[in-house]
Structure 1
Amino acid sequence: MRTHPPTQGQDAGPSHAGAQAFREAMARLAAPVSVVAVLDPAGRRRGFTATSVTSVSLDPPMVLVGVDHRSSCHAALTEAPEFTVNVLGAHHGELARRFATHGVDRFAGAGFAGWPGTGTPYLPDAGVLLRCRTADVVRAGDHDLVLGAVTDARTADPAPDPLLWYRRAFHTPSPALPAAAAA
């Protein structure tokens, strides 16, 4: 495996060129696409397309969601007692685009339901559905990391092919490669 040494003469501090190089590097990191959904303090459904969702802990089960400080959903997510992570399947491409678009009713006709007892929005046909209680919010540069204690986890059966974000576009995986023969 080839490694990429640091450019000579560059310091470790942030720079415009460094930020652009980082942005390009992250564009080449394939990520599953999710819609993170929440009720704001006024009881309105809010949500956004997210690729910065990852597992943190198995015991207790926890995930983190990164949300930009400039996001229209930032306050709703960071102040909510609970939220859902709806991992999208390949058939959800249009839904992912809608939840990434500003100035539209993201939930109109999207098929979301309200969690019994709380009303927190969730997508019944998500490939993976995680209901999370907000455990902590940690500032990290221009984002906040919302740590969620998973209170319910559900998977679709059969599992749909995932929707992935790679090189600034949505993709679905190509057919799996055959398993390597045992030596």
Structure 2
Amino acid sequence: MNAPARTTPLAGADEFRDAMALLPAAVTIVTTSDGEGRRWGFTASSVVSVSLDPPLLMVGLSRTSSCHQALVSAPEFVVNVLDGRHRALARTFAQHGVDRFAGQHFEQWPGTALPVLPGAHAAYRCVRHDVVPAGDHDLLFGALTEVEARRPGTPLLWYRRAFRTPC
């Protein structure tokens, strides 16, 4: 089967970034721990459901992230869904070159060393299912093993290059 003819050129990086700024996305903090007990985490808005059977989700992870190696090699990770109270935390976990966990209160998922945010809107514990390269990112697929729906609240969104909450 032939691919359809392209009618417009591919967007440049700036055009693509501007276009994606118009797509609201839930804000999460993805966390894991390595074999030495060191905690890793970053702010992510590229998290989507992929499959119901088996239940899979996907996290987009930049290859330049300081967490990249830890997350793509970790057997498990947690996606913490943030709400409106977590703006400052989302900013902290988006910074480079800092100890993102310093001064932050994370618990451990029961029976594991996985960091989980106790006040998260929801938390998804995942087993690494696959890692697929895509452009300058890797797509980390996780098979859901447990879900903690913590509290109803107003979700934190990333929209037009800022943290927002729906009215």
Task: Output one character per residue of 1:64-104: Cα deviation in whole Å (capped at 9) or x when no partner.
Answer: 00100000000000000000000000000000000001122
Residue in 1 that maps onto 2:124: 130
Residue in 2 that maps onto 1:70: 64
* Aligned counterparts of 2:7 and 2:84: Cα–Cα separation in 1: 37
TM-score normalized by the length of structure 2: 0.92
| Aligned positions, number | 162
Amino acid across the alignment from 2:159: Y
Match of 2:81 among 74, 77, 87: 87
1:124 CA displacement: 1.5
Amino acid across the alignment from 1:69: R
* Aligned counterparts of 1:6 and 1:69: Cα–Cα separation in 2: 31
Task: Output one character per residue of 1:37-89: Cα deviation in whole Å (capped at 9) or x when no partner.
Answer: 01123320010000000001112111000100000000000000000000000
1:6 CA displacement: 4.9
Residue in 1 that maps onto 2:106: 112
Match of 1:46 among 33, 40, 44: 40
Amino acid across the alignment from 2:165: T
Q: Which runs of 5+ in 2 are unaligned?
A: 1-5
Amino acid across the alignment from 1:38: T
TM-score normalized by the length of structure 1: 0.84
* Aligned counterparts of 1:59 and 1:117: Cα–Cα separation in 2: 26
SS at match of 2:143: strand
8 Å contact kept, 1:41–1:76:
no
Residues 1-183 of structure 1 mapped to structure 2, 5 A cutoff: 6-7=7-8, 10=9, 12=10, 18-157=12-151, 159-174=152-167
Amino acid across the alignment from 1:88: L
Residue in 1 that maps onto 2:3: none
Higher mean C-alpha displacement, 111-120 vs 141-150 = 111-120
Q: Which runs of 5+ in 1 are unaligned?
A: 175-183
SS at match of 1:109: coil
Question: Which entry has the higher C-alpha Rg, 1 or 2?
Answer: 1
Amino acid across the alignment from 1:36: V
* Aligned counterparts of 2:46 and 2:64: Cα–Cα separation in 1: 15
